[in-house]
Amino acid sequence: MVAMPAVEGPLGQDDLLQAFLELDTPPGYKAELIEGEIVVTPPPDGEHESAFSLLNRQFMRKAETEFDLSGNKGLIVPTGRFIPDGTVSPVGHFLDAGSWADPAGVLLVFEVTSTSPRRDREQKRRGYAAAGIPCHLLVDRSEGTVTLFTEPEGDDYTRKEPVPFGKPIDLPAPFSFTLDTAPLR
């Protein structure tokens, strides 16, 4: 993950946002604006993609209700422009959305940590909470844990349920299924 200044010298928030929106990233890379910093991330490694696929399969097969699971959907949150690894929403929720969407109505986002997990663990969690996203699931590869954050209040979640890889974790309604984390080991 690389943090990039948009231009040399101080920028106002509007200038920074404009520079961010005009950024041209190489194919496969993604750019996010996280708490006033432009962050460019290279394509994910195979372990990251395997974790994403595991979550995707379980949401599509086990959830009591049908959902859309978007990979890399841009969300406009109070602390920037974030691209979660996975965004779970009602079917058709983003049908008329542009590249960057309002997070209202999003049910859950998940992140699989990269080589620089601090942003996923802290900054992105706070941004999702500030946006009022009810559930945030963090797959922390370096810690070997899956943590479910729920009940957003202000800029953080008030409930946190961590489990080590291999232990199941119950997801609340409207998902209402037990996530099997054993394949993450």
Q: What is the mean pLDDT of residues 64-68?
A: 90
> What's residue 11's pLDDT?
57
Q: What is the mean pLDDT of residues 135-155?
A: 97
User: What gap in Å lies between CA 44 and CA 48, rounded to an integer?
Assistant: 6
Query: In the predicted model, is pLDDT for residue 28 greater than 50?
Result: yes
Query: Which CATH number among 3.90.1570.10, 3.40.30.10, 3.40.50.300, 3.40.50.720 corresponds to the domain 44-184?
Result: 3.90.1570.10
Q: How far is CA 95 from the centre of its chain?
A: 19
Q: Which residue has the tokens 């920074």?
A: 16
pTM here is 0.89
> What's residue 116's pLDDT?
75
User: What gap in Å lies between CA 91 and CA 100, rounded to an integer?
Assistant: 18
Domain boundaries of the chain, sorted by first residue: 1-43, 44-184
Query: In the predicted model, is pLDDT for residue 47 greater than 50?
Result: yes
| Tens digits of residue pLDDT in 75-129 | 999 999 999 999 999 999 999 999 999 999 999 999 999 877 989 999 999 999 9
> What's residue 72's pLDDT?
86
Q: State percent of the chain over pLDDT 70.
A: 94
Q: What are residue 16's phi and psi, to 5 degrees? A: -65, -45
Long-range contacts of the stretch 121-127 (C-beta < 8 A, 24+):
123/34, 123/35, 123/79, 124/34, 124/82, 124/84, 125/149, 125/156, 125/157, 126/79, 126/155, 126/156, 127/34, 127/35, 127/77, 127/78, 127/79, 127/80, 127/82, 127/155
Q: Judge contact between 162 and 147, C-beta under 8 A.
A: yes
Query: In the predicted model, is pLDDT for residue 70 greater than 60?
Result: yes
